[in-house]
């Protein structure tokens, strides 16, 4: 059984409106 770690991140603009919501298991690869 493999263990996978997933990260949920939200990118917002200056007005705190959600621009992008993503889920990844490798933050350094996606950002």
Q: What is the pLDDT of residues 1-31, one digit of tens each?
A: 566 665 666 666 677 666 666 666 665 665 5
Please name which of 24, 31, 30 lies closest in space to residue 8, comparing C-alpha atoms.
24
Q: What is the pLDDT of residue 6?
A: 59
Burial (CB count <10 Å: 0-12, 13-18, 19+), residue 24: middle
Q: What is the pLDDT of residue 19?
A: 64
Q: What is the pLDDT of residue 25?
A: 63
Q: What is the pLDDT of residue 18?
A: 63
- pTM, full prediction: 0.24
């Amino acid at each position: 059984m493999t263990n996978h770690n997933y990260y949920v991140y939200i990118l917002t603009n200056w007005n705190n409106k959600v621009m992008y919501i993503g889920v990844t298991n490798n933050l350094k690869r996606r950002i």
